[in-house]
């Protein structure tokens, strides 16, 4: 039987990229389950998911390394609606956002990285994600699934941005790993 979720033809959908991360619990399983839950949300069609990467925490003091990946979705949702769904999925997995801000250990972090070619400097979400071009934990999985996608502000491909960000970085800050075998 066909999927009952109605989405318009692909030409009427926006391609968005989402960063997924976790550094608490069974991060590989959490990310995989969160991706599946995201795909069951109205107005979202899963497109591609990168390999996971074990990455050193950035801008936070913790011994817990992250597992990060990037996924692309096709959506009929606005950027605001998509961000609200991402926050809803985070809460379902136990995420509590600190109103004071700052980085903390977390079971799940979902960031809207790109929403088509949308550029927004005010309101939420800011697009493209303002730090994505500096973060290896975003660029490595992004290049795996979309190397030629161009940053809508910097007008450079993800591959070019990765080369620039990797210059002088510690090669041990991120390492590609594998998804657990899901076969019975």
Q: What is the pLDDT of residue 2?
A: 41
Give the C-alpha separation, 143 to 119, whole Å: 20
CA atoms of 17 and 77, how far apart (whole Å): 13
**Class assignment of domain 11-176?**
alpha beta
Number of helices (H) and strands (E), helices first, in the chain?
4, 6
| pLDDT, position 121 | 93
CA 137 to the chain's CA centroid: 10
For residue 99, the model assigns a pLDDT of: 65
Strands 109-115 and 14-22: antiparallel
The burial of 29, by beta-carbon neighbours within 10 Å (0-12 exposed, 13-18 middle, 19 or more buried), is given as: middle
* Segments making up each domain of the chain, as ranges: 11-176
Q: Could you state, in chain order, the average pLDDT of each consecutive group of 10 residues for the chain (184 residues)?
A: 51 92 95 97 97 89 93 97 97 80 82 97 94 94 98 97 86 86 57
Give dist(CA 84, CA 103) in Å, integer.
19
Q: How far apart are CA 96 and CA 38, in angstroms?
A: 18
Read off the DSSP letter of residue 116.
Answer: T
């Amino acid at each position: 039987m066909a999927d009952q979720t109605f989405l318009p033809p692909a030409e009427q959908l926006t391609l968005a990229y989402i960063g997924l991360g976790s550094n608490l619990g069974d991060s590989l399983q959490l990310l995989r389950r969160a991706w599946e839950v995201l795909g069951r949300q109205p107005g979202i069609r899963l497109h591609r998911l990168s390999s996971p990467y074990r990455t050193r925490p950035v801008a936070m003091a913790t011994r817990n390394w992250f597992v990060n990946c990037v996924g692309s979705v096709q959506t009929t949702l606005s950027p605001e609606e998509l961000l609200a769904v991402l926050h809803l999925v985070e809460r379902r997995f136990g995420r509590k956002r600190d109103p004071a801000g700052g980085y903390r250990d977390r079971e799940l972090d979902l960031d809207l990285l790109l929403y088509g070619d949308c550029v927004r400097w005010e309101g939420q979400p800011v697009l493209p994600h303002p730090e994505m071009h500096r973060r290896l934990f975003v660029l490595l999985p992004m290049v795996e699934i979309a190397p030629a996608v161009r940053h809508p502000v910097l007008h450079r491909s993800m591959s070019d941005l990765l080369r620039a960000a990797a210059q002088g970085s510690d090669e041990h800050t991120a390492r590609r790993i594998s998804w657990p075998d899901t076969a019975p």
